[in-house]
Amino acid sequence: MSDSTPTVLFVCVHNAGRSQMAAGFLRALAGDLVEVLPAGSEPADGINPIAVEAMAEVGIDIGGGIPQLLTVDAVRESDVVITMGCGDACPIFPGKRYEDWVLDDPAGQGIEAVRPIRDEIRGRVERLIAGLG
């Protein structure tokens, strides 16, 4: 990673659905122009299989992801921190760009309910990329 490469941290509670889908889209759409870190305040044991299926429908494989615990260091090294339903679990550092994306949690939902969440995340990631340039 070079000094000019922005780092984006996506944080949700379990780091198994929303943040993994957002990270998958950012990696696919921005490539190596952005460093991507997903994390969770209470990470799950694995990626939500419905989120994996929804992303596979658009040609993105997130099945190999491993939910990671949110750390102070991850926030410190990020330029942009995007939270998704994790409330006050994310430490705040001056000079960072913070966004809170209000999105339904795909946990426990079927594919029909997860597709619109996936599509909303894609749109937000596209706008994020435009704002990073």
Catalytic residues: 12, 86, 90
Cα torsion at 57, 62, 68, 73 (round to 10°)?
-100
The conformation of residue 46, written as its DSSP 8-state character, comes to S
CA distance 126 to 22: 10
Q: What is the torsional sign of CA 46, 47, 53, 59?
A: negative
Three-state SS at 115: helix
Asked if 5 and 64 touch (Cβ cutoff 8 Å), the reply is: no
CA distance 101 to 106: 14
